[in-house]
A and B are shown apart, each in its own frame.
Chain A
Amino acid sequence: MKKENFFLCYILVSISILFLAFKNNVSLIERVIVLGMAIFFGVALTHHFYEIKSSINRRDYREGFNYENILLIICAGLSAAITWFINHTLGYGPIVANGIVGIIVGLFSTKRAGAFYIASFIGMSSQEIVHSMTMAGIIGMFAGFLIIFTQEIYAGVGGKGGTIAAFSTMLIKLLMGLFI
């Protein structure tokens, strides 16, 4: 899959949220604000696309399936599963669970902390969306794969991880719904 397609997938997540916001808010002022946000979002996104265009299709040595990346994918799955466990099984809730996992990965894994932290967002899902710890782990592994292959997309902007997590969760849930 080309990286441009991943870029489109990320945009799809953001646009879906803006579209739902537009649909759910009935007052004129709220809709105007959502539209305004969508316009400014579009302007910044176009600029961001041209900014990363040259690097987006460059083959990066870090993107191959080497030992380090396979380990990252497995650890991302673990991070999501542990967050889900703290959130639902121990009952601490999504925010505290994410905070605990974030502090642990931030203290002990400085190099790949971002990747594990992103995967941790998946464990914040409700039980209606992510039914089990295993499912959280599988989605976490998919997110780990996305993190490796889409490093430039949304780089330097807060919320990149959330977009990856939301996309991974929705996609795997959709696929599981089709085949299981």
Chain B
Amino acid sequence: MTVSIIVAAVLATSLTYTIIYKLQKGPVLASAIVILASGILLPYFFPEEGVLLASVATTGSYAAMVSKEKFPRLTDMIFVGIICGIAFILTEEAFVGVGGRLGSIAAISCFTWLGIKKIKSRVLK
């Protein structure tokens, strides 16, 4: 289950990022397309865990609504997706039912990756 959550998050972040910057669609439209598709398709193909995976994909999709200055490469999004999946598992019982919960998890994931990059650049200097 953990693996499928992380895979869903990575796919959602990468796909949203690609739609925004490769297909040149706006972040809102890109995120909404990924969310709507995951909300319809995942519960259909995976009846047991589809709703949970759709929530993960939604979180990943929010996390990919970033600026290219801060997250210049698709690789950044893959790492953000991994962190996002882990954060989703760890925060399963926090803020349940509160609108914006998934977005808040996405923000934590993005800042965590930025922090890792910052520390890495200082260590390698």
Contact = CB atoms under 8 A, between A and B. Distances in A.
Interface of A: 13-14, 16-18, 20-21, 24-25, 30, 33-34, 37, 39-45, 47-48, 80, 93-96, 98-103, 105-107, 110, 113-114, 117, 121-126, 128-130, 139, 154-170
Interface string B109-123: 111111110110000
Given A17-B105, A42-B115, 15 more contacts: A14-B104, A14-B108, A21-B94, A80-B99, A95-B38, A100-B32, A102-B32, A106-B29, A117-B31, A122-B99, A156-B70, A157-B110, A158-B63, A158-B110, A163-B103
What interface size band does chain B fall in?
Answer: 35 or more
Contacts of B69: 156
Nearest to B66: A158
A167 B111 CA distance: 18
Contact of B118 (A18, A44, A101): A44
A158 B51 CA distance: 22
Contacts of A25: 90
A113 B102 contact: no
A162 B87 CA distance: 15
B35 A98 contact: yes
A103 B33 contact: yes
A39 B115 contact: yes
Interface-centre pick from A37, A155, A165 (highest chain B CB count, 10 A):
A37
7 contacts: A37-B83, A40-B115, A44-B115, A99-B36, A105-B32, A159-B62, A161-B62
B57 to A, nearest CB: 8
Interface string B31-57: 111011111100000000001001100
B98 interface: yes
A17 B115 contact: no
B4 interface: no
Nearest to A130: B99
Nearest to A128: B97
Interface in B79-113: 80, 83, 86-87, 90-113
Contacts of A103: 29, 32-33, 36
